[in-house]
Amino acid sequence: MEMYRAKKGAMIDDEDAQRYGERIAQIEAANQNTEDLPGLIIDDAHSDESPLNEYFEWDNEKAGWKYRRHQAQMLLCSIEVKIINPNRETEEYTRAFHPVKITVQESKDTKPYEISTWTNKTRILSEPELRKQIIGKAMDELNMWRARYDQYTELSTVFDAIQQVRMELK
């Protein structure tokens, strides 16, 4: 039996990942000649007996809103903004919007809470807490990249640079 676990940041836990992974493997094994695994998963999940059923939103109104929210997030991921760097005399395009967590306090009498949202590059660059979040995410991505390619000694100077930046940020 394969061992499955939830990816860091996933909306499921390791126990769910194991149950869902096993079921998806069964579906795939039973339908080897298809390219539509997501469609097969949804078909299977329609059954109340399927362990996948609980994962999906079956209320069409709620599901429609969640899907449109997902589309909006994909739209935010698709837009770039031109950055002009006068020091290097270059023009580059970079991601215009990033997901961040911000603290909200509705009134001075209420307790502040954190929400996940998206914001633009200008705000991120001007607010130290948001900038710290994006740099932290970038470092996490660099560390994952390093772990993936660590066996390639040809990249040792890049690994050293990652380590140097990590030390400077501490």
Residue 22 belongs to a domain: yes
Q: Into how many domains does the chain fold?
A: 1
CA-CA distance, 157 to 136, in Å (whole number)?
21
Predicted pLDDT of residue 6:
92
Residue 18 belongs to a domain: yes
Whether residue 13 is predicted with pLDDT greater than 90 in this model: the reply is: yes
Tell me the whole-structure pTM to 2 decimals. 0.69
Owning domain of residue 38: 14-56
Average pLDDT over residues 87-104: 88
Residue 47 belongs to a domain: yes
Query: Contact, 40 vs 24, CB < 8 A?
Result: no
Average pLDDT over residues 65-93: 89
Average pLDDT over residues 101-107: 89
Residue 29 belongs to a domain: yes
- H-run or E-run covering 114: strand 113-120
Average pLDDT over residues 16-36: 91
Predicted pLDDT of residue 83:
85
Predicted pLDDT of residue 136:
94
CA neighbor of 142 nearest in space, from 166, 121, 125, 118: 166
CA-CA distance, 12 to 10, in Å (whole number)?
5
